[in-house]
Chains A and B, each alone.
Chain A
Amino acid sequence: MKRLALIVLLLASPLWAVQPDEVLDDPALEARAREVSKGLRCLVCRNESIDESDASLARDLRILLRERLVAGDTNQEAVDYIVERYGEYVLLNPDMRGANWLLWGAGPLMLLLAGGMGLVYLRGRAGQTAAGDVPLSDAEQARLDDILKD
Chain B
Amino acid sequence: MITELGHFALLLAFGVALVQTIVPLIGAHKRWPGWMAVAEPAAGAQFALTALSFGALMWAFIVSDFSLQLVVSNSHSAKPMLYKISGTWGNHEGSMLLWVLIVTLFGAMAAWFGGGLPPTLRARVLSVQSAIAVAFFAFIIFTSNPFTRLATPPFDGRDLNPLLQDPGLAFHPPFLYLGYVGLSMTFSFAVAALIEGRVDAAWGRWVRPWTLAAWVFLTIGIALGSWWAYYELGWGGFWFWDPVENASFMPWLLAAALLHSAIVVEKRESLKSWTILLAILAFGFSLIGTFIVRSGLLTSVHAFANDPERGVWILMILAFFMGGALILFTLRAGAMEARGVFGMVSRESALVVNNLLLAVACFVVFVGTMWPLVAEMFFDRKLSVGPPFFNAAFTPFMVALGLILPIGSTIPWKRGGVLKAMRPLRYVFVLALAIGGLAYAMQTGQSLIGPMGMFLGAWLIMGVIVELIQRSRGNLGRLMRLPRADWGKATAHAGLGVTMAGVAGLTGWAMDDIRVAQVNEPFDVGAYTLTLNGVQEVRGPNYLSSMADITLARDGRVLSELRPEKRFYPVAQMPTTEAAIDYNLARDVYVVIGDAQQGGGWVVRTYIKPMTNWVWIGCALMALGGLLSLTDRRFRVAAGAAKSHRETVPAE
* A-contacting residues, B221-263, CB 8 Å: 234-235, 237, 240-243
- Whether A103 contacts B349 by the Cβ 8 Å rule is no
**What chain B residues lie within 8 Å of A100 (beta carbons)?**
375, 383
Measured between alpha carbons, how far is A16 from B339 in the docked complex, in Å?
62
**With contacts defined as CB atoms under 8 Å apart, how many contacts are there between chain A and chain B in the complex?**
163
* B-contacting residues, A121-150, CB 8 Å: 121-123, 125-126, 128-130, 132-134, 139, 142-143, 146-147, 150
**Interface membership of chain A positions 88-99, coded 1 if the CB is closer than 8 angstroms to chain B and 0 otherwise:** 111111100011
- Whether A115 contacts B371 by the Cβ 8 Å rule is no
**Interface membership of chain A positions 37-49, coded 1 if the CB is closer than 8 angstroms to chain B and 0 otherwise:** 0110100001111
Known: A87-B382, A111-B360. A16 touches B573 (CB 8 A): no
Chain B, interface SS category? mixed
- Whether B638 contacts A133 by the Cβ 8 Å rule is no
For residue B115, CB closer than 8 A to chain A, the reply is: no
Cβ-neighbour of B303 out of A46, A90, A128, A129 (below 8 A) = A46
For residue A57, CB closer than 8 A to chain B, the reply is: no
- Whether B243 contacts A47 by the Cβ 8 Å rule is yes
**What chain A residues lie within 8 Å of B356 (beta carbons)?**
111, 114-115, 118
Measured between alpha carbons, how far is A132 from B341 in the docked complex, in Å?
9
- Whether A130 contacts B341 by the Cβ 8 Å rule is yes
For residue B299, CB closer than 8 A to chain A, the reply is: yes
Cβ-neighbour of A93 out of B342, B367, B388, B595 (below 8 A) = B388
Known: A20-B514, A111-B360. A94 touches B301 (CB 8 A): no
Known: A52-B235, A88-B382. A107 touches B360 (CB 8 A): yes
B206 to nearest A CB, angstroms? 14
Chain A residue at smallest Cβ distance from B338: A125
- The segment from B405-413, B457-465, B473-481, B641-649 that touches chain A is B641-649
For residue A64, CB closer than 8 A to chain B, the reply is: no
Chain A interface residue count, Cβ-Cβ cutoff 8 angstroms? 59
Chain A residue at smallest Cβ distance from B355: A118
**Interface membership of chain B positions 113-129, coded 1 if the CB is closer than 8 angstroms to chain A and 0 otherwise:** 00000000000000000
- Whether B367 contacts A106 by the Cβ 8 Å rule is yes
**What chain B residues lie within 8 Å of A126 (beta carbons)?**
341-344
- Whether B367 contacts A16 by the Cβ 8 Å rule is no
- Whether A89 contacts B383 by the Cβ 8 Å rule is yes
**What chain B residues lie within 8 Å of A142 (beta carbons)?**
648
For residue A23, CB closer than 8 A to chain B, the reply is: yes
- Whether B383 contacts A93 by the Cβ 8 Å rule is no
Measured between alpha carbons, how far is A6 from B388 in the docked complex, in Å?
27
For residue B522, CB closer than 8 A to chain A, the reply is: no
**What chain A residues lie within 8 Å of B367 (beta carbons)?**
103, 106-107
Q: What would 13 more interface pairs be, CB under 8 Å, given A143-B641, A143-B642?
A: A12-B574, A16-B603, A20-B515, A47-B241, A106-B367, A114-B360, A118-B356, A121-B352, A125-B342, A132-B341, A146-B645, A147-B637, A150-B637
- Residue contacts A-B, CB under 8 angstroms, 29 given: A1-B306, A3-B299, A4-B306, A8-B573, A11-B575, A16-B605, A17-B234, A38-B388, A47-B299, A47-B301, A47-B384, A52-B237, A92-B388, A98-B381, A103-B368, A103-B371, A110-B360, A110-B363, A114-B356, A114-B359, A114-B360, A115-B356, A125-B348, A126-B344, A129-B341, A133-B341, A143-B645, A147-B637, A150-B637
**Which 4 A-B residue pairings sit nearest by Cβ, starting from the closest?**
A92-B386, A93-B388, A107-B364, A106-B367
